[in-house]
């Protein structure tokens, strides 16, 4: 019962985090577009969870044939299987956060029907394969020893790279919409809720009460403040509150790959480095992305994944995986992690391109029918 309560608490504290992301998007939108921004993000998250419930979870985590699994899946839900239901809810929060990241890239560039088509396709062609390969016990990368604690690759690298690809998507509506200065107070509160929810994000991956809880909480807090310090060091001549808030978020993103697998000193160093690198790249970026999702998510996730490959502590890793720095004579784990990162990039690229192509076909056909 205590483990059930633990998962319920993790899910509940993640919920405000998920819906704080639209607040950040809306606060920087032109005032007449605030409602459109909130509608688009809310519909995107709604479609995402329904798709996850109907087919995403069973494809990601069931090990039998699809038709046998889907029949058994709904039978167990109808019977109220608490383990399955809580797992659906917990894993669904991870998927919703990934979707929330790339939605921001398309603010004012598409209309909300885009996400009704694109999101289930992206789930099918990108998120499901990555989740199966890395988090399912039957997954190829999982069996090779690749690890990704709470989604450095599965959630953040995939969402960030998807954002980069979506910046080239033909807009369905004009993107020449002026932006207003961010409302700092809502941004501050939304970021604090995201930080709070991230404890559920990182702890939830344990799926049970565990002695490593203290390490994860400490590492999460260190990630928040250390990455913010990295942003401060880069922006020291003219620091703004948005810099510190963004730095906190980057620390959280970076933490997800390695938060349960490294020492606090390692987390401090990796997230400080991530804050410096991501802030510098953000400042020089020419990518047409209003929320800098690629820079924050993909780069932050990659830094965390590489940091794990270098500094994994066998005292904390599930199968004694050891980082290259601690055992440079044996680089097997480094090779496995780099391969997992490469597979993540490849699947995300191909899957997103397929999803964009199908979505574009639908809207082009609809436009042609309307023109007739």
- Region 186-197 average pLDDT: 93
Q: What is the pTM of this model?
A: 0.93
pLDDT digits (tens, 9 = 90+) for 109-139: 888 899 999 999 999 999 999 999 999 999 9
Query: Which residues, 6+ apart, have CB-to-CB distance to 189 below 8 Å?
Result: 20, 23
* For the chain, the helix, strand and coil percentages under 3-state DSSP, each to the nearest 5: 75, 0, 25
- Say if residues 356 and 165 touch (Cβ distance below 8 Å): yes
- Say if residues 349 and 165 touch (Cβ distance below 8 Å): yes
Which pLDDT belongs to residue 186?
85
Which pLDDT belongs to residue 171?
55
Of the candidates 16, 95, 98, the one whose C-alpha atom is nearest the C-alpha of residue 51 is 95
Residue-range domains of the chain with CATH: 1-371 (1.10.3430.10)
Distance in angstroms (rounded) separating the CA atoms of residues 258 and 305 = 7
Distance in angstroms (rounded) separating the CA atoms of residues 148 and 258 = 7
Average pLDDT for the chain:
90
pLDDT digits (tens, 9 = 90+) for 42-88: 999 999 999 999 999 999 997 655 556 788 889 999 999 999 999 99
Which pLDDT belongs to residue 198?
96
Number of residues assigned to the chain: 372
Which pLDDT belongs to residue 172?
47
Q: Is residue 177's pLDDT more than 80?
A: no
Please report which helix (H) or strand (E) contains residue 367, including its range. helix 332-371
The SS3 of residue 178 is coil
pLDDT digits (tens, 9 = 90+) for 29-45: 766 678 888 999 999 99
pLDDT digits (tens, 9 = 90+) for 96-107: 999 999 999 988
């Amino acid at each position: 019962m205590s483990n059930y309560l633990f998962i319920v608490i993790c899910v509940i504290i993640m919920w405000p985090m998920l819906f704080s992301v639209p607040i950040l998007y809306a606060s920087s939108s032109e005032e007449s577009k605030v409602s459109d921004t909130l509608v688009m993000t809310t519909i995107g998250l709604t479609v995402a969870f329904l798709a996850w419930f109907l087919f995403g979870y069973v494809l990601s985590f069931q090990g039998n044939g699809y038709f046998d699994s889907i029949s058994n899946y709904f039978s167990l839900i109808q019977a109220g299987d608490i383990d399955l239901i809580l797992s659906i809810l917990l894993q669904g929060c991870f998927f919703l956060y990934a979707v929330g990241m790339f939605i921001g890239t398309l603010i004012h560039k598409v209309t909300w029907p885009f996400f009704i088509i694109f999101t289930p396709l992206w789930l099918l062609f990108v998120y499901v394969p990555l989740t199966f390969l890395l988090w399912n016990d039957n997954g190829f990368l999982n069996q090779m020893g690749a690890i990704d604690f709470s989604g450095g690759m599965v959630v953040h690298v995939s969402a960030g790279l998807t954002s980069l690809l979506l910046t080239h998507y033909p807009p369905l509506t004009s993107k020449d919409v002026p932006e207003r200065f961010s409302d700092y107070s809502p941004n501050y509160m939304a970021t604090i809720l995201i930080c709070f929810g991230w404890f559920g994000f990182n702890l939830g991956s344990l799926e049970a009460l565990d002695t490593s809880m203290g390490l994860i909480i400490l590492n999460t807090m260190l990630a928040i403040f250390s990455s913010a310090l990295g942003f401060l060091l880069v922006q020291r001549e003219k620091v703004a509150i948005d810099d510190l808030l963004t730095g906190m978020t980057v620390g959280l993103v970076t933490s997800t790959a390695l938060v349960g697998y490294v020492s606090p000193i390692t987390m401090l160093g990796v997230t400080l480095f991530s804050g410096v690198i991501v802030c510098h790249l953000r400042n020089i970026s020419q990518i047409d992305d209003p929320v800098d999702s690629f820079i924050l998510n993909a780069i932050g996730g990659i830094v965390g994944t590489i940091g794990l490959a270098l500094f994994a502590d066998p005292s904390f890793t599930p199968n004694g995986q050891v980082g290259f720095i601690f055992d440079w004579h044996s680089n097997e784990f480094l090779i496995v992690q780099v391969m997992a990162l490469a597979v993540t990039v490849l699947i995300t690229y191909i899957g997103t391109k397929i999803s964009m192509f199908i979505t574009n076909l639908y809207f082009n056909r609809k436009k042609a029918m309307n023109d007739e």
